[in-house]
Amino acid sequence: MACPVEVPAPRLLGVACAVPPHAIDQNTVRDAARAIFGPRLRDFERLAPVFDNASISTRYASRPLDWYLSERGWPEKNAAYLETALDLLERAALDCLARAGRRPAEIDAVVTVSSTGIATPSLDALLMERLGLRPETIRLPVFGLGCAGGVLGLARAADLARARPGAVVLLLVVELCTLTVRQGDLSATNIVATALFGDGAAAVLLCCDAQDEDGPRVIAAGEHTWPNTRAVMGWRVEADGLGVVFSQDIPALIRQRLPGVLGAFLARHGATLAELDGVICHPGGTKVLNALEEVLAPVSDGFQHSWDVLRDYGNMSAVTVLFVLERRMADKGRGRHLMSAFGPGFTAAFLLLDL
């Protein structure tokens, strides 16, 4: 009997990020929110400190601020989503390929992750000619992963690369969260979303090739979906767009339920928390990051990148953790890192990376 051939771990060949051109500082967002919601929401001033406490300085939006001051229906919002998403993904993909020294014609498969708009044909199909991809390129569009989509999308792309040694796999992630803010929603959740959300895109190139010795390696991936937690995070489909759903209990859930699940994931792959060299965490918000710092202690190297990305871009859902990854790689972080995020389900997503 022939011995099975050991497949090398998929490697990251390049990472690139992109944001739309409309930078908006947090004070301007707060003032705009006051103008939109204040006259109709008696509790707005009680909620307003969330803008100051979010640790966000700037975020980037798909449209100029004035666009958000008028009511927009679902068709108009989704048209804006398609236009901006394609532009950002094209830019991120081409930048990523240039950094990796590869050409679009070399891409064998594309995994595209997004949960803030609808595209049929999917975004990857709409990008094929713009990017110059081969007609036989394998496409895997993924919807509904929410904030976990950056980590789980990278896991799916790594699985494709591992299943097809030598194939070049492109991961594309785009989230345009500002388009989901709804003027007619006077809930506290919508106000918090207005204080947090930004727009962005990222691209990651992977390959599983025994001759390729450069680039971070994807060692393992995992996820855990807790029973009876579907109401913790997600979208509601409304007449004027996607209505945000997230629970204020998320930090408590992380503190109470993550340690056991994370410990089991690490143990399955022969690792312990104390052996990690750093972390690459999705910065969902200040309370989530504070909870993660407690759970992951004493490991702390890399958290500053999460705080910095939150400050500079806000919460861009699935994309955000890839901005953190890009900074961690540029910072020459080394050793075994835990990449993590949380999404609808309620689901914890994990990756082990050797940088």
Q: 197 and 54, same structural domain?
A: yes
> For position 27, which CATH number holds?
3.40.47.10
Q: 50 and 194, same structural domain?
A: yes
pLDDT at 203 over 50: yes
Rounded Cα–Cα distance for residues 330 and 4 (Å): 36
The answer to whether residue 134 sits within a structural domain is: yes
Structure tokens at 257: 């339920």
Structure tokens at 238: 């409304």
Cβ pair 278, 301 in contact under 8 A: yes
The answer to whether residue 286 sits within a structural domain is: yes
Considering 3, 17, 96, 147, which one is annotated as catalytic?
147
Rounded Cα–Cα distance for residues 342 and 317 (Å): 10
Q: Catalytic: 147? A: yes
Whether this prediction's pTM lies above 0.85 is answered by: yes
Task: Indicate the SS3 state at residue 27.
Answer: helix
Cβ pair 122, 139 in contact under 8 A: yes
Taking residues 79-88, report their average pLDDT.
97
Strands (E), 78-216: 109-113, 138-142, 168-176, 199-207
Rounded Cα–Cα distance for residues 105 and 240 (Å): 39
Q: 241 and 162, same structural domain?
A: no
Phi first, then psi, for residue 101 (nearest 5°) are 70, 35
Q: 253 and 148, same structural domain?
A: no
For the chain, the average pLDDT equals 93
The answer to whether residue 325 sits within a structural domain is: yes
Cβ pair 152, 282 in contact under 8 A: no
Percentage of the chain exceeding pLDDT 90:
79
Q: 235 and 341, same structural domain?
A: yes
Q: 173 and 227, same structural domain?
A: no
- 141 φ/ψ sector (left φ>0, alpha ψ -120 to 50, else beta): beta
Rounded Cα–Cα distance for residues 29 and 141 (Å): 32
Q: 240 and 189, same structural domain?
A: no
Q: 143 and 248, same structural domain?
A: no
Rounded Cα–Cα distance for residues 204 and 128 (Å): 16
For 266, other C-beta atoms within 10 Å of its C-beta total 20
The overall longest dimension of the chain from CA atoms, in Å, is 76
Q: Give the total number of structural domains in the chain.
A: 2
Rounded Cα–Cα distance for residues 321 and 149 (Å): 9
* 207, 235, 257 - which closes a domain: 207
Selection from 75, 65, 78 nearest residue 32 by Cα: 65
Q: What is the pLDDT of residue 6?
A: 66
pLDDT in tens, 29-47: 999 999 999 899 988 999 9
Taking residues 113-136, report their average pLDDT.
96
Taking residues 105-112, report their average pLDDT.
97
Cβ pair 291, 255 in contact under 8 A: yes
For residue 18, the enclosing domain spans: 11-207
Structure tokens at 144: 């509904």
Q: What is the pLDDT of residue 211?
A: 65
* 185, 207, 229 - which closes a domain: 207
Q: 168 and 249, same structural domain?
A: no
* 147, 172, 207 - which closes a domain: 207
Give, for 90, the enclosing helix (H) or strand (E). Answer: helix 74-100
Q: 319 and 249, same structural domain?
A: yes
Rounded Cα–Cα distance for residues 353 and 355 (Å): 6
Per-residue burial over 34-51, b if 16 or more Cβ lie within 10 Å, else e, is eebbeeebeebeebbebb
The answer to whether residue 2 sits within a structural domain is: no
Specify the range with the lowest mean pLDDT, choosing from 73-87, 176-190, 200-214, 252-266. Answer: 200-214
Rounded Cα–Cα distance for residues 248 and 296 (Å): 21
The answer to whether residue 58 sits within a structural domain is: yes
Cβ pair 141, 126 in contact under 8 A: no
The answer to whether residue 1 sits within a structural domain is: no
Cβ pair 7, 158 in contact under 8 A: no
Top-confidence residue, 241 or 180: 180
Peptide bond just before 64 cis, omega within 30 deg: no
Q: 223 and 177, same structural domain?
A: no
pLDDT at 108 over 50: yes
Q: 87 and 124, same structural domain?
A: yes
